[in-house]
């Protein structure tokens, strides 16, 4: 087994550690990450095990004196991790494509050599999987976008993009949960609420949930 | 309660932070200078995690609605309470109606106002810190504005005037020059993606803190530090203190309001025991990084606990010796 | 049993009230000598060239430690001779461990002299600044 087949483990100062799985950015790898996170979150001294995109951050309640045992446990945990197929909920999300918030719809179409209608139907076709939460409160990283509507991120991020923006960044798509800066291209918006700190679980979606975008309207 | 009369820049309610909500995309927030907030809380007899007000720009003015102990810690300060001058890192007592005027910050970047009992905003997801992006926590999830009336918990703490030696003096690092802050860092995941000459450049450079530096992150300016080959990471969790190298080769230190995930290569992470020094480094001043082993970073944190224990004990002893008269 | 700071403060109080100016305590492994400073009385003694109708007060330390005339972050001393001050103004600091205890003016007036030497060890009751009150 070559070293590139092994996970990479690195420190984030003394408060956290990053575990990066080898292999592809796909659902089978992500399911193993979920399984590993479920296990590692129960280890003593661990505050949270946070899945990323085929990786996982562990934050420490108390930083371990010796890292060797933790590193060994992570390696063993990864080897033993069975694919955890989370039976998440399927969310149907009405989206208004185009319009003021989704003002990049035309430029995505132009960039990809497609019509606006094609971009909308290609974007709304797949069943997306929430791979991980991160970035800002309630934001979900989705897996499953059709590569035909890939568009590189902006050179200069927008200072403020609206909450609920449905955007494309590279080969990924996602929905911002609140207004903020963004380097992605907004092609539509939804009025759904993704995060509320007063809910028992503040984020509406969790890794393993699936999303299907419903075309509510297309503003050309 | 206290009423905000005038405010410049994004002053906010902060405690030590929200540390266990990363899995929902919620970052830590919390005081940029946690040592100053802790010291201020110790001075007024609070739990060290009690919420205070972080003030990054002056002038700032407020009125006390009732008598209470308060402390100013963090940056150096030119301040007056009811016409009396307050030295830096100082606890005093305000009577109902007294106006606190904070005019200038001759050194440091952030001032902390703590009050006996603490700023009594609701606990949201385990913390009273303001979460700006999520617009929750702190005072209505936003920076303070004139006219805001902040509730304060009732406190029984003693109220004599007392000062603390500024942490910058007690915890001074060797070789620190004027206008340059040295912080210790532990190398991070992509350090080996930079060649030896570039690594050496990272250590030897005196990095200028640009005006685009705030609670989200410190953007530094200096020689371009670029990896051997471009590194594109899959999005992963990051914490305050992580130093990322974006494509332009100019480091960004993630701070308390940073996003919880990122994908730029990480060269190093500022250790927890030194992050407050970054929080007090002024725009336009310089930062230098000193490599530290993980074990030494833990030792530095242990030293910080010893310092805070000593501070608590000192305050208790002086309090006792004064009350017995 | 170690001698606590609180015990020392109580002892000093007892000494001052009883008019005794020195006490020495010796226990295995530790000894303590307390000297009550008579400075306040000396400050108003007729040997000093002050007019008989002048009223002077003295700002005294209320804890033991090292006298600081200026905050370490400031070049300027807290007060200088000739300066007008309000009652309650901070005229000096006593550094005790990590703390700075204030020495406050008991009355408003003009600073006549800073008596204590910067850096000197001072105790409970040590006169630090003499103030000529406005009468």
Q: So what's the ipTM on this one?
A: 0.95
Tell me phi and psi for residue B187, to 5 degrees.
Answer: -65, 150
Mode of pairing for the β-strands spanning B99-104 and B57-64: antiparallel
Least CB–CB distance from C96: residue in B76, B85, B318: B318
Pick the residue of C11, C73, C90 with the most B CBs within 10 A to test the interface with B by mutation: C73
The reply to whether residue C62 touches residue B169, judged by beta carbons under 8 angstroms, is no
Pairing of β C65-68 and β C121-122: antiparallel
The predicted-structure confidence for A43-82, as pLDDT tens digits, reads as follows: 999 999 999 999 999 999 999 999 999 999 999 999 998 8
Whether C8 and B321 lie within 8 Å, measured CB to CB: yes
B67 and chain C: CB distance < 8 Å anywhere? no
Minimal Cα–Cα distance from A137 to chain B, Å?
Answer: 4
Write the pLDDT tens digit of every residue in B259-292: 999 888 999 999 999 999 999 999 999 999 999 9
- Residues ≥6 apart with Cβ < 8 Å to B216: B254, B255, B257, B258
Q: Using CB atoms within 10 Å of the CB of residue A38, give its burial: 0 to 12 exposed, 13 to 18 middle, 19+ buried.
A: middle
- Residues C38/C41/C47/C49 CA torsion (nearest 10 deg): 120
What is the C-alpha separation between B143 and A203, in angstroms, rounded?
23
Determine, for residues A195 and B24 on separate chains, whether the beta-carbon distance falls below 8 Å.
Answer: yes
User: Tokens 């685009």 — which residue?
Assistant: B212
DSSP annotation of B215 reads: S
Q: Which residue has the tokens 């310092």?
A: B307
CB B26 within 8 Å of CB B130: no
The average confidence (pLDDT) of chain B is 95
Residues from chain B that touch A56, judged by Cβ atoms under 8 A, are 237
Helix (H) / strand (E) element for B90: namely strand B90-94
Query: Per-residue pLDDT averaged across B164-171, rounded?
Result: 96
Please tell me whether residue A219 adopts helix, strand or coil conformation.
Answer: strand
At C6, the pLDDT band (50, 70, 90 cuts) reads low
d(CA A30, CA A208): 9
- The angle at the Cα of A158, spanning A187 to B33, to the nearest 5 degrees, equals 130
Q: Considering chain B, what percentage of its residues have pLDDT values greater than 90?
A: 89
* For testing contact with chain B, the best of A23, A26, A63, A134 (most B CBs within 10 A): A134
Between residues 86 and 125 of chain A, which touch chain B (CB distance below 8 Å)?
Answer: none
If one counts every other C-beta atom within 10 angstroms of the C-beta of residue B207, the result is 25
d(CA B14, CA C127): 42
Whether pLDDT at C18 is above 60: no
Average confidence (pLDDT) over B230-239: 91
**What mean pLDDT do residues B216-222 have?**
96
Residues in C touching B92 (Cβ below 8 Å): none
CA C132 to chain centre: 16
pLDDT at C2 over 70: no
Question: What are the structure tokens assigned to C120, written together?
Answer: 């000197």
Residue A59: how many CB atoms within 10 A of its CB? 21
pLDDT at residue number C42:
36
A55 touches chain B (CB under 8 A): yes
B107: nearest CA in chain C?
Answer: C73
Which pLDDT score is estimated for C51?
A: 44
Of the pLDDT bands very low, low, confident and very high (cuts 50, 70, 90), residue B321 is confident
pLDDT in tens, A147-183: 999 998 887 777 788 899 999 988 889 999 999 888 8
Q: For chains C and A, tell me whether 3 or more CB atom pairs sit within 8 A of each other.
A: no
Kindly compute the dihedral angle of the four CA atoms of residues C9, C15, C16, C20, in this order, to the nearest 10 degrees: -160
Quote the CA–CA distance of A124 and A95 in Å, as a whole number: 9
The C-alpha atoms of residue A58 and residue A78 are separated, in whole angstroms, by 14
Q: Which residue has the higher pLDDT, C33 or A69?
A: A69
Q: A50 and B260 in contact by Cβ < 8 A?
A: yes
Scan for tokens 């059709």, then name that residue.
A146
B298 pLDDT band, cuts 50/70/90, is very high
Residue C65 has pLDDT above 70, yes or no: yes
C93 vs B170: CB contact, 8 Å cut-off? Answer: no
Chain A residues whose CB is inside 8 A of the B22 CB are 48, 50, 57, 59, 134
Per the structure block, which two tokens stand in for A86? 């989370």
Q: Scanning every residue of chain B, which has its alpha carbon at the shortest distance from the alpha carbon of C97?
A: B314
Per residue in A179-210, pLDDT (tens digit) is 988 888 999 999 999 999 999 999 999 999 99
Is residue C82 over pLDDT 90? Answer: yes
Q: Is B140 within 8 Å of chain C by CB?
A: no
Model confidence band, residue C53 (pLDDT cutoffs 50, 70, 90):
very low
Q: Could B242 and A202 be called an inter-chain contact, meaning their C-beta atoms sit closer than 8 Å?
A: no
Strand partners, B12: B54
Please check the confidence at residue B309 and state whether its pLDDT lies above 70. Answer: yes
Q: How far is CA C63 from the centre of its chain?
A: 8
Q: Contacts of residue C72 in chain B, CB cutoff 8 Å?
A: 165-166, 169
Instruction: Say if residues A70 and A64 touch (Cβ distance below 8 Å).
Output: yes
Q: For residue B90, list chain C residues with Cβ-Cβ distance below 8 A.
A: 100
Counted across chains A and B, CB pairs separated by less than 8 A come out at: 142
- Cα–Cα dist A122/A145, whole Å: 9
Q: Identify which of C94, C88, C91, C89 has the alpha carbon closest to the alpha carbon of residue C80.
A: C91
Q: How far off is chain B from A130, nearest CA to CA, in Å?
A: 12
In this complex, do A134 and B235 lie within 8 Å of one another by their Cβ atoms?
A: yes
Q: What are the pLDDT digits (tens) for A9-49?
A: 999 999 999 999 999 888 999 999 999 999 999 999 999 99
Q: How confident is the model at residue C20 (pLDDT cuts 50, 70, 90)?
A: low
pLDDT confidence tier of residue C1, bands split at 50, 70 and 90: very low
pLDDT in tens, B107-143: 999 999 999 999 999 999 999 999 999 999 999 999 9
pLDDT exceeding 90 applies to what percent of chain C? 50
Asked if the model's pLDDT at residue B13 lies above 70, the reply is yes
On whether any CB of chain C is under 8 Å from the CB of B170, the answer is: yes
Q: Compute the average pLDDT of residues B53-61.
A: 97
Averaged pLDDT for residues A114-134: 96
How far is it, in rounded angstroms, from Cα B166 to Cα B71? 13
Tell me if B222 sits within 8 A of B206, measured CB to CB: yes
Provide the CA C48 distance to its chain's centre, in angstroms. Answer: 18
User: Can you tell me the mean pLDDT for C88-114?
Assistant: 94
Touch between chain B and chain A (3+ CB pairs, < 8 Å)? yes
> Cα–Cα distance between A88 and A211 in angstroms, integer?
10
- Res C48 pLDDT > 50: no
Cβ separation of B310 and C71 shorter than 8 Å? no
- Nearest Cα to A170, choosing from A5, A19, A25? A25
CB contact under 8 A, B20 and A59: yes
Decide: residue B34, CB within 10 A, 0-12 exposed, 13-18 middle, 19+ buried: buried
- If pLDDT is split at 50, 70 and 90, which confidence band does A1 have? very low
Whether pLDDT at C15 is above 70:
no
CA distance B284 to B276: 17
pLDDT given for residue B263 in this prediction: 86
pLDDT confidence of residue A159 = 77
Helix intervals (H) in chain B = 34-43, 167-170, 196-204, 275-279, 294-323
Q: Under an 8 Å CB criterion, which residues of B touch A?
A: 19-27, 124-125, 131, 133-137, 185-189, 234-239, 241-242, 259-261, 266, 269-272, 294, 297-298, 301
Q: Inter-chain contact B26–A178, Cβ cutoff 8 Å?
A: no
What is residue B88's DSSP assignment?
S
CA distance B204 to chain A (A): 20
Question: Is pLDDT at C39 greater than 60 in this prediction?
Answer: no
Predicted local distance difference test score (pLDDT) of residue A172: 85
């Amino acid at each position: 087994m070559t070293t590139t087949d092994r996970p990479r483990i690195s420190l984030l100062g003394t408060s956290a550690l990053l575990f990066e799985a080898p292999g592809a950015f796909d659902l089978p790898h992500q399911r193993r990450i979920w399984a590993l996170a479920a296990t590692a979150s129960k280890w003593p001294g661990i505050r949270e095990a946070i899945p990323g995109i085929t990786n996982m951050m562990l934050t420490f309640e108390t930083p371990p004196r010796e890292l060797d045992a933790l590193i060994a446990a992570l390696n063993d945990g990864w080897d033993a991790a069975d694919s955890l197929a989370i039976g998440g909920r399927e969310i149907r999300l009405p989206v208004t494509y185009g319009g003021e918030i989704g003002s990049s719809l035309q430029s995505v179409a132009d960039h990809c050599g497609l019509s606006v209608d094609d971009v909308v139907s290609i974007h709304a076709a797949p069943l997306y999987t929430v791979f991980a939460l991160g970035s800002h409160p309630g934001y979900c990283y989705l897996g499953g976008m059709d590569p035909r509507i890939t568009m590189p991120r902006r050179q200069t991020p927008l200072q403020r993009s609206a909450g609920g923006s449905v955007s494309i960044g590279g080969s990924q798509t996602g929905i911002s949960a609140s207004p903020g800066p963004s380097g992605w291209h907004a092609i539509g918006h939804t009025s759904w609420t993704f995060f509320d700190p007063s809910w028992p679980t503040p984020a509406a979606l969790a890794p393993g949930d699936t999303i299907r975008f419903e075309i509510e309207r297309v503003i050309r | 309660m206290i009423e905000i009369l005038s405010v410049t820049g994004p002053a906010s309610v902060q405690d030590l932070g929200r540390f266990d909500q990363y899995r929902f995309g919620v970052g830590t927030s919390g005081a940029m200078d946690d040592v100053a907030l802790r010291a201020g809380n110790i001075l007024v007899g609070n739990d060290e995690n009690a919420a205070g007000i972080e003030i990054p720009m002056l002038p700032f003015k407020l009125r006390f609605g009732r008598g209470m102990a308060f402390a100013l810690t963090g940056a150096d300060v030119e301040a007056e309470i009811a016409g009396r001058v307050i030295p830096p890192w100082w606890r005093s007592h305000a009577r109902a109606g007294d106006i606190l005027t904070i005019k200038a910050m001759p050194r440091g970047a952030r001032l902390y106002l703590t009050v006996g009992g603490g700023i009594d905003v609701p606990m949201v997801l385990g913390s009273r810190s303001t979460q700006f992006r999520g617009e929750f926590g702190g005072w209505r999830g936003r920076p303070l504005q004139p006219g805001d009336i902040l509730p304060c918990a009732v406190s029984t703490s003693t109220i004599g005037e007392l000062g603390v030696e500024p942490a910058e003096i007690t915890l001074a690092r060797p070789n620190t020059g004027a206008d340059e802050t040295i912080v210790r860092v532990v190398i991070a995941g992509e350090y080996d993606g930079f060649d030896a000459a570039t690594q050496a450049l990272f250590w030897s450079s005196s990095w200028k803190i640009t005006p685009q530096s705030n609670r989200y992150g410190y953007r530094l300016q200096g020689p371009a530090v670029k990896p051997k080959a471009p590194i594109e990471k899959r999005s992963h969790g990051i914490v305050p203190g992580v130093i990322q190298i974006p494509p332009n080769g100019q480091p960004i230190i993630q701070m308390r309001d940073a996003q919880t995930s990122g994908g730029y290569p990480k060269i190093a992470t500022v250790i927890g025991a030194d992050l407050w020094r970054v929080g007090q480094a002024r725009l336009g001043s310089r930062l230098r990084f000193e490599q530290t082993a993980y074990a030494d970073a833990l030792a530095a944190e242990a030293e910080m606990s010893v310092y805070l224990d000593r501070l608590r004990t000192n305050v208790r002893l002086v309090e006792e010796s004064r009350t017995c008269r | 049993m170690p001698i606590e700071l609180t015990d020392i403060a109580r002892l000093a109080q007892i000494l001052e009230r009883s008019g005794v100016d020195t006490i020495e305590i010796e226990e295995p492994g530790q000894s303590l000598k307390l000297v009550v400073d008579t400075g306040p009385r000396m400050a108003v003694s007729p040997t000093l060239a002050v007019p008989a109708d002048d009223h002077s007060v003295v700002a005294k330390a209320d804890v033991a430690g090292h006298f600081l005339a200026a905050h370490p972050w400031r070049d300027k001393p807290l007060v200088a001779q000739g300066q007008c001050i309000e009652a309650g103004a901070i005229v000096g600091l006593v550094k005790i461990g990590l703390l700075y205890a204030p020495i406050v003016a008991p009355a408003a007036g003009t600073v006549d002299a800073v008596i204590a030497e910067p850096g000197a060890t001072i105790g409970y009751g040590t006169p630090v600044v003499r103030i000529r009150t406005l009468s």
